[in-house]
Amino acid sequence: MSLVLQENLSLKPYNTFGVDVKARLFAEAHDDVQVREALALAADRSLPLLVIGGGSNLLLTRDVEALVLRMASRGIRLLADDGEKVVLEAEAGEPWHPLVLWTLEQGLGGLENLSLIPGTVGAAPMQNIGAYGVELKDVFAGLTALDRQTGELREFGLEDCQFAYRDSLFKREAGRWLILRVRFNLSRAAQLHLDYGPVRQRLRDEGIETPTPKDVSRAVCAIRSEKLPDPMELGNAGSFFKNPLVSGEQAERLKAAHPDLVAYPQGDGLVKLAAGWLIERAGWKGFRDGDAGVHRLQALVLVNYGAATGSQLHALAQRIRADIVAKFGVELEMEPNLI
Binding site for ligand EPU (CB under 6 A): 131-132, 227-228, 238-239, 242-243, 262, 274, 276-277, 280, 285, 298-300, 335
Q: What is the DSSP letter of 334?
A: B
**Dihedral sign, Cα of residue 8, residue 121, residue 177, residue 145:** negative
56, 115, 217, 239: the active-site residue? 239
Q: Looking at beta carbons only, is 92 or 228 nearer to ligand EPU?
A: 228
Nearest approach, Cβ of residue 153 and ligand EPU (Å):
29
Any catalytic annotation for residue 181? no
Nearest approach, Cβ of residue 13 and ligand EPU (Å):
20
3-state secondary structure of 173: coil
Q: Where are the beta strands (DSSP E) in 30-157?
A: 49-52, 58-59, 64-71, 76-81, 85-91, 130-131, 134-135, 140-147, 153-156
Nearest approach, Cβ of residue 335 and ligand EPU (Å):
6
3-state secondary structure of 301: strand
Nearest CA to 66 among 6, 26, 21, 29? 26
Q: Looking at beta carbons only, is 84 or 195 nearer to ligand EPU?
A: 195
- Contact indicator for 302, 310 with CB cutoff of 8 Å: no
Q: Looking at beta carbons only, is 26 or 163 nearer to ligand EPU?
A: 163
Any catalytic annotation for residue 239? yes
Alpha helices by DSSP H, listed for 228-264, are: 248-257
Any catalytic annotation for residue 94? no
Q: What is the DSSP letter of 42?
A: H
148, 166, 181, 202: the active-site residue? 166
Nearest approach, Cβ of residue 46 and ligand EPU (Å):
35
Residues with a known catalytic role? 166, 239, 335
